[in-house]
Chain A
Amino acid sequence: AQSVAQPEDQVNVAEGNPLTVKCTYSVSGNPYLFWYVQYPNRGLQFLLKYITGDNLVKGSYGFEAEFNKSQTSFHLKKPSALVSDSALYFCAVRDRGSYQKVTFGTGTKLQVIP
Chain B
Amino acid sequence: DGGITQSPKYLFRKEGQNVTLSCEQNLNHDAMYWYRQDPGQGLRLIYYSQIVNDFQKGDIAEGYSVSREKKESFPLTVTSAQKNPTAFYLCASSGKATSGRAGEQYFGPGTRLTVT
Chain A residues engaging chain B, CB cutoff 8 angstroms: 9, 32, 34, 36, 41-46, 49, 51, 90, 94, 99-107
Contacts and interface: CB of A to CB of B under 8 A. Distances in A.
Interface residues of B, number: 28
A7 B67 CA distance: 36
10 contacts: A32-B103, A41-B112, A43-B92, A43-B108, A44-B90, A90-B42, A100-B94, A100-B97, A103-B45, A106-B41
Contacts of B40: 9, 106
A102 B1 contact: no
A43 B50 contact: no
Contacts of A41: 88, 110, 112
A32 B107 contact: no
Given A100-B31, A100-B97, A101-B48, A44 B41 contact: no
B45 A44 contact: no
B59 to A, nearest CB: 9
A94 B103 contact: yes
B43 interface: yes
Interface of B: 1, 4, 6, 31, 35, 40-43, 45, 48, 50, 58, 88, 90, 92, 94, 97, 102-110, 112
A43 B35 CA distance: 11
A32 B105 contact: no
A94 B101 CA distance: 13
A79 to B, nearest CB: 24
A100 B48 contact: yes
A22 to B, nearest CB: 15
B22 to A, nearest CB: 14
Nearest to B6: A43
A105 to B, nearest CB: 6
A104 B94 contact: no
Given A100-B102, A106-B40, 12 more contacts: A9-B40, A41-B88, A42-B110, A43-B1, A43-B108, A44-B43, A44-B90, A44-B92, A44-B105, A90-B43, A100-B50, A106-B41
Nearest to A32: B103
